[in-house]
Structure 1
Amino acid sequence: MRMDFWGAVLVVLRRWYVVVPTFLLCIGAAVGMYAAVPVTYTSSAGIVLTIPKTGSSLPVNSKQPDPVTNPLLNFDDGLSMSASILIQALSAPEVGTELGVVPGGKTGFTVSNGATNPEWMMSGPFVFIEAESDTAEGAEGIVTKLVARAKEEMAKRQTAVGAPQQTFLNVTVVVPPTTPIAESGSKSRAAAAAGAAGLILSFFAAFAVESFLDARRARRAKEAAAVADWGAVKPAQDSGRPGVSPVLHG
């Protein structure tokens, strides 16, 4: 049965005693869901790799040292490659396990070059660390551990390839671990979803009751019509056979 907008509004108004309790019940469920979803905290840090001020190579003649340069003005593609290696190393599951992060637990982290962060939309020797936990201390603690691990990882890998220590890349913290921020977005989304579901459910309940009552009225009307038709039938009298029950003709 086709029902226009105003017809639907009339159904909702007519069955308000179904809509209101159902909606209030769902609102209560939304409030409970909002309270049940835990608050998460996020903390982040940013580091950059730089070349030593004496350069990335040792002079052939020790009497003629390489010129001293500003590390922040001396970037090349090698730094970006080293940053990518560091990101892959820190993102390994084994690193998380060593730092106390359990897969599927309440604490997690991501390491990237900032490509997924609007404030760090750049490529280069940057490493962006972000952690999330159910406590502020947990989020900031993991970021602090990862920053320290980044320095250890770079030193270990440069030692493994036999790079002269004077040419070791510097791991500079440009953004120290930030103060954890409470993220309530997941709580709000859960409550909003429950509220929307409650509104839809209340409308559905109203139309279900309306359909049930319409069907019951139609059935009763049909039964009443059948009874009326039965009462209108007059028994046929068999004058030739007294004692025979009368026959009804429809």
Structure 2
Amino acid sequence: MGFWRTVLGLARKKFVGPPVLVAAIVLALAAFFLVPSRYVSTASLVLTVPASGGTLETEPRQRPGLTNPLLQFNDALRTTAGILILATNTPEVAAEIGVTEDGPTSLVINDGRTNPDLLGISTNGPFVYIEVESTSPQAVRETMRRAQLRVKQELAKRQVALSAPISTHIGVLDVMPPSIPKQLIQDRLVAGVAGGLLGVVGGLAVAYLVVRLRRARVETPAEAGAPPEAGGGDGVREAEAGNGVSEAGNGTRPAASPVFPMTVAELDAVQDEGDGSVRAVDDTGPIEVVVPREDQLDSAT
């Protein structure tokens, strides 16, 4: 909770929120316009049988009847469509059409299962669905033309290889002609959203890091070897002096404290070692010596 509160607090600040918002907008627009545009075109083909049917009479006694090709859809056509889809989905065929593995153009050939419009009816008809996506409308049109031509050539080659009578050859009908290349904006929108989120997250992360560093600097002393507080050392030394303990000098033992009472000479020596502000003066004068007399009575008598 503390982290999110800090982040929200930073976002509300004038020197953090507006710059982060501007950076997010700039990154989103840059990502949107820098991502190359992509275009897509689709086409749907269906296989049909000839009007005379799929059988050639060798010795017809009478002229065979004609049949509507749209009424001749069966499992055989769906099987043929599946063969064409498998044959044209190889890397070799894709390279002939102009689609490489790492190139900007992509090609999809199936029975329509990737097209929502054909999803419900793709299992009931021999459809061949083609979808081309590339970075330019010209590339989409050219690749679509080559893909359609390749499907028709593959169908004709296999029928010739099987020695099928020409009058019974299966035809290809354009159910949905190639559509006009349509620009896709999904990738650009995703890139723009990602750029905006990156700007917001990155800006708030930098602001949060700066705040944390500033707090760490405030909590840490300005100098690692800061001198002690004024008066602290003097008070300790005064207390030690009051207790009669003197500091050791140059690694020697501390000097012994003076013992009272002292003589005048000792007092002079002690004062000489100090600051010399106080001097002892011997003003007692001569000391009178009292000699007891012989006739003086002793206190015991």
TM-score in terms of structure 1 length: 0.83
Hey, what does 1:146 align to over in structure 2? 147
> How far apart are the structure 1 equivalents of 2:30 and 2:95?
34
In structure 1, what is the Cα distance between the partners aligned to 2:230 and 2:86? 87
In 2, Cα distance between equivalents of 1:231 and 1:119: 91
Name the counterpart of 1:73: 71
How do 1:58-207 and structure 2 match up within 5 A? 58-59=56-57, 62-64=60-62, 66-121=64-119, 122-123=122-123, 124-207=125-208
CA distance, structure 2, for counterparts of residue 92 and residue 243 of structure 1: 97
- Match of 1:57, SS state, is coil
Structure 2 CA distance for aligned equivalents of residues 19 and 49 of structure 1? 62
In structure 1, the partner of 2:258 is none
Name the amino acid aligned to 2:89: S
CA displacement, residues 108-165 of structure 1 (integer Å, 9 cap, x when unaligned): 2111111011111022300111111222121012112211221111011011112222
CA separation in 2, counterparts of 1:116 and 1:242?
95
Residues in 1 aligned to 2:147 and 2:50: alpha-carbon distance in whole angstroms:
22
Tell me the SS of whatever aligns to 2:117: helix
Residue 13 of structure 1 corresponds to 12
Asked if the contact 1:140–1:180 (Cα under 8 Å) also holds between the matched residues in 2, the reply is: yes
User: Which one has the bigger helix percentage?
Assistant: 1
Letter in 1 for 2:236: P
Name the SS of the counterpart of 1:118 in structure 2: coil
Equivalent position SS for 2:15: helix
Aligned residues of 1:11 and 1:210 also touching (Cα < 8 A): no
Q: CA deviation at 1:240?
A: 5.1
Q: Does the 8 A contact of 1:151 with 1:171 survive in 2?
A: yes
Q: Which amino acid aligns with 1:62?
A: P
Deviation at 1:47, TM superposition (A): 0.4
Is contact 2:45–2:176 with CA below 8 Å preserved after alignment?
yes
Which has the bigger relative contact order, CA under 8 A and spacing at least 6? 1
Greater CA drift, 159-168 or 51-60: 51-60
Closer/same/farther in 2, CA of residues 5 and 241 from structure 1, 3 Å limit: closer
Measured on the aligned residues, the alpha-carbon RMSD in Å equals: 2.9
Give the AA of the match of 1:197: L
Identical pairs, percent: 32
Partner of 2:55: 57
For the 8 Å contact 1:23–1:201, the answer to whether it is kept is no
Q: How many residues align?
A: 242
Equivalent residue number for residue 28 of structure 2: 30
Rounded to whole Å, the distance in 2 between the matches of 1:240 and 1:211 is 48
- CA–CA separation in structure 2 for the residues paired with 1:89 and 1:7: 61
TM-score (norm 2): 0.70
After superposition, give the CA deviation of every residue in 1:80-108 in whole Å (9 maximum; x if it has no partner). 11111111222222222223333322222
- Alpha-carbon distance between aligned partners in 2 of 1:159 and 1:70, rounded to the nearest angstrom: 24
Corresponding residue SS for 1:119: coil
Residue 4 and residue 134 in structure 1: after superposition, are their counterparts in 2 closer, same or farther (change >3 A)? closer
